[in-house]
């Protein structure tokens, strides 16, 4: 690990004209994206490698980021997908026995810019009041404040943007590794196909532990190609962007529903399943991004503390008669889960796999396992 941090004067400009000056680190470049805030107190490595943050700039509300460095095991994908990071205090010298590089080194490897010494409490208050804002993060040597605001305003935003096919795997592969630290190889034998719209590694680990080997396919893989694999279940992954433009996925899901193949969706996958069933989605004001969100199971009334990361949601009022609401957010009453009453299909808006966050609602993987095992008997 490097001994000293190389920083540079940097600027964060919002589309509303707000300007923040700070110390840049990571890659010395200009980038734009939708600015969101994440309230997690741990797990910054998992957060920045989550593909669902494509075209977003992440503001961490936790004041210290970088303390535990970066290791080889906690990445949720092979790359940093966020456009940039905004933090209050950057720890340039991490202290953790698993760390083998600093956050700054990782950012430079991945060519991602970050800015520190920002009043993230003030910034978060702006985002809560006005909603997620398009923003520009840049070295001061490359842009003036006025130019940075223009770049922020020029960013088109995530509404209408299909990013699932951008981050999706290009080549099909098989995953058979279980959860850390055991990482046991899959022992069950119920083949499931997972559509990669931006899938996280810990989702694959949990699926593998519950159903066996997982064949991961590109977001645009056809219904016919998937059926050649003789799956006993379909998993619809998390991912970035607006679900509505993903018509290729919605059309596929409708075909799987028609043949009663078990389906489990998470995050973007939840939204796509709802759209395939006839519901509608909408862009949220500032979304849910954090690891401390209470969600209630509407049948049992049990409350779970969950990990969340989404800027779009399913409109509960548009659910057709054969789809029931299963979970709801206790923060804002937005829909968190659905279940088909006439099909073996269900989904959850939050992240039961956590990484980072609480593991209370990982029971949903067990539910999918039961569906797959029942289907395998037919």
Give every CB contact of residue 237 below 8 A, 6+ residues apart in sequence.
194, 195, 196, 197, 198, 199, 200, 203, 266, 267, 268, 269
What is the reported pLDDT for 4? 56
The catalytic residues are 267, 351, 353
Classify 334 as helix, strand or coil. Answer: coil
Give me the pLDDT at residue 29, please.
Answer: 98
* Tokens matching residue 33: 């994206």
By the 8 A CB rule, do 350 and 336 touch? yes
Burial class (CB in 10 A: 0-12, 13-18, 19+), 300: exposed
Alpha helix (H) ranges present in the chain?
A: 44-48, 103-110, 120-130, 145-154, 164-167, 201-211, 223-227, 247-258, 268-276, 363-376
CATH top class, domain 8-154: alpha beta
What the block records as the tokens of 205 is 């680990």
Quickly list DSSP for 239-305.
-SB-STT-HHHHHHHHHHHHTT--EEEETHHHHHHHHHTT--EEEEEEEEEEEEEEEEETTT--EEE
CA-only gyration radius of the chain, Å: 20
pTM of the model: 0.97
Q: What pLDDT tens digit does each residue of the chain (378 aa) get?
A: 555 578 999 999 999 999 999 999 999 999 999 999 999 999 999 999 999 999 999 999 999 999 999 999 999 999 999 999 999 999 999 999 999 999 999 999 999 999 999 999 999 999 999 999 999 999 999 999 999 999 999 999 999 999 999 999 999 999 999 988 777 887 778 899 999 999 999 999 999 999 999 999 999 999 999 999 999 999 999 999 999 999 999 999 999 999 999 999 999 999 999 999 999 999 999 999 999 999 999 999 999 999 999 999 999 999 999 999 999 999 999 999 999 999 999 999 999 999 999 989 999 999 999 999 999 988
3-state secondary structure of 69: coil
Q: Report the pLDDT value the prediction gives residue 352, as an integer from 0 to 100.
A: 96
Place of tokens 């789809």: 323
User: Going by C-beta distance under 8 Å and a sequence separation of 6 or more, which residues neighbour residue 262?
Assistant: 232, 233, 234, 344, 345, 368, 371, 372, 374, 375
Q: Taking every pair of C-alpha atoms in the chain, what is the biggest distance, in angstroms? A: 65
b/e burial code for range 77-98 (CB count within 10 A of at least 16 → b): bebbbbbbbbbbbbbbebeeee
Query: 301, 234, 13: which is closest to 135 by C-alpha?
Result: 13
Q: How far is CA 42 from the centre of its chain?
A: 16
DSSP β-bridge partners for residue 56: 34
User: Cα angle at 234 between 228 and 240, to 5 degrees?
Assistant: 115
Whole-angstrom Cα distance, residue 219 to residue 168?
A: 6
CA 4 – CA 1 distance, rounded (Å): 9
CATH 3.30.499.10 fits domain 164-376? no
Three-state DSSP at 311 gives strand
| Predicted pLDDT at 187 | 77
- Domain parsing of the chain, residue ranges: 8-154, 164-376
Q: What local confidence, expressed as pLDDT, does residue 183 receive?
A: 76
């Amino acid at each position: 690990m490097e001994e000293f941090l190389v920083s540079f004067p940097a600027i964060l400009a919002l589309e509303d004209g707000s300007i923040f000056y700070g110390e840049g680190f990571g890659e010395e470049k200009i980038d734009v994206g939708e600015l969101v805030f994440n309230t997690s107190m741990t797990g910054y490595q998992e957060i920045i490698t989550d593909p669902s943050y494509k075209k977003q700039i992440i503001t961490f509300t936790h004041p210290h980021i970088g303390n535990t460095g970066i290791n080889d095991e906690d990445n949720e994908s092979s790359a940093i997908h966020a456009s940039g990071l905004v933090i209050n205090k950057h720890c340039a010298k991490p202290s953790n026995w698993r760390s083998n590089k600093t956050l700054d080194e990782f950012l430079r490897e991945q060519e991602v810019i970050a800015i520190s010494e920002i009043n993230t409490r003030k910034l978060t208050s702006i985002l809560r009041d006005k909603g997620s804002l398009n923003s520009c993060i840049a070295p001061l040597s490359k842009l003036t404040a006025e130019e940075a605001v223009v770049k922020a305003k020029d960013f088109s935003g995530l509404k209408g943007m299909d990013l699932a096919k951008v981050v999706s795997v290009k080549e099909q592969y098989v995953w058979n590794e279980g959860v850390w630290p055991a990482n046991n190889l899959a022992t069950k034998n119920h083949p499931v196909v997972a559509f990669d719209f931006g899938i996280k590694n810990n989702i694959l680990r949990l699926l593998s532990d519950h159903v066996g080997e997982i064949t991961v396919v590109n977001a645009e893989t056809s219904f016919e190609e998937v059926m050649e694999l003789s799956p006993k279940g379909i998993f619809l992954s998390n991912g970035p962007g607006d679900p509505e433009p993903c018509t290729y996925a919605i059309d596929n899901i409708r075909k799987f529903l028609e043949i009663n193949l078990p389906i489990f969706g998470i995050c973007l996958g939840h939204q796509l399943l709802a759209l395939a069933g006839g519901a509608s989605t909408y862009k949220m004001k500032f979304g849910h991004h954090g690891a401390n969100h209470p969600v209630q199971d509407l049948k049992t009334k049990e409350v779970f503390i969950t990990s969340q990361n989404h800027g779009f949601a399913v409109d509960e009022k548009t659910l057709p008669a054969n789809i029931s609401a299963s979970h709801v957010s206790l923060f804002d009453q937005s829909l968190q889960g659905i279940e088909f009453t006439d099909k073996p299909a269900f989904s959850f808006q939050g992240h039961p796999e956590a990484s980072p966050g609480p593991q209370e609602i990982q029971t949903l993987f067990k539910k999918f396992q039961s569906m797959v095992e029942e289907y395998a008997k037919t």
